[in-house]
Amino acid sequence: MTEALMNLIPAHQFSIEELTNAYNRTRTDYLIPMPMNPGRLQEYITLYDVDLQASQVAIVDDTIVGLGMLGVRKGMGWITRLGVLPEGRRKMVGSAILQALLDGATAKKLSDVWLEVIFGNHPAHELFRKFGFKETRELIVARRPPQTMRNLSAIRDVSKVRYLQHDEVIELHCKRQERMNWLNDAESMRNVRLLANNPFLEESEPFPQHEATRLSGMSVEFLDGSLGWISYQVTTLQLKRISIEVNRGNPQRVTEGILELLHRLHSSQDAVIENIPDDERWTGFKNAGYFEVFRRIEMVHRAA
């Protein structure tokens, strides 16, 4: 019997509900499942500039067997949500989708294409290496349960705190010298404002709209001249999109002090950080009560 042919179709030809269902099925036995609903997938597409016309869905006999998405911004690309349903595995579906995404990036003249693979996902890691992706660094995903640390020593040298509004936070992000990961790039932060237009946001979402569509922040100065700032998004149950920059002083101590201030203000919220580098600031996060959930390996494919 002849094996059915696979076709690749641009993702914009499918509904958000169809894409969500297919994505969740690719993750049923995944190392870190991370399921989504249509509202969350639309939020993801908006925040990270996913181009659905350049993204791909693999079809066999009118059935989705895999998908992959391509984010596009400022001459760079980002491959994400690449997954194959159980019935499509070991049939080169993942390779076909990845090649199509890279071909799309080439057609758009994107110089670099980035992605992350979960540490320990050896088959995916090897696939990306096969296609010419090179490792750049490890990135940490971590959480902090609701609690007040009561670590007075971390904040006793604070001399000045200035609270920041959304536009001030975006301006600071745009001035950063550090190369940020796609999730924490200034464009991702700027796109938070666009979430108010999400037509799939469900009434059951655990936070009001006005809390979901802006960033807050603090600029903190210490008696010894150390200086840093933090930005974050507040929801009823969670603090997310947390990002810290240390302008002067010891990165560990400044990070810990800023986080102690943050969690005194928001002691009832769970907190999550995504894709932060394993540097001195991470030690400050750990001292402030954060624990590592898993790691991702950042990789890049550079145009020839």
SS (H, E, C) 126-145: HHHHHCCCEEEEEEEEEEEC
Q: Which fold has domain 141-295?
A: Aminopeptidase (3.40.630)
174 band by pLDDT with thresholds 50, 70 and 90: very high
More confident residue, 274 or 91: 274
> Average of pLDDT values for 113-126?
96
Give the model's pLDDT for residue 32. Answer: 78
Q: Has residue 157 got a pLDDT over 90?
A: no
Give the model's pLDDT for residue 224. Answer: 94
| Domains 6-110 and 141-295 alike in fold | yes
Q: Which CATH architecture has domain 6-110?
A: 3-Layer(aba) Sandwich (3.40)
d(CA 88, CA 25): 11
Percentage of residues of the chain with pLDDT beyond 90: 78
Indicate the pTM of the whole model: 0.91
CB neighbourhood size of 75 (10 A)? 11
* pLDDT digits 0-9 by tens, 86-119: 876 778 999 999 999 999 999 999 999 999 999 9
Burial class (CB in 10 A: 0-12, 13-18, 19+), 22: buried
* pLDDT digits 0-9 by tens, 23-46: 999 988 777 778 899 999 999 999
Give the model's pLDDT for residue 272. Answer: 96
Instruction: Map out the domains of the chain as residue ranges.
Output: 6-110, 141-295
More confident residue, 46 or 204: 46
* pLDDT digits 0-9 by tens, 237-258: 899 999 999 999 999 999 999 9
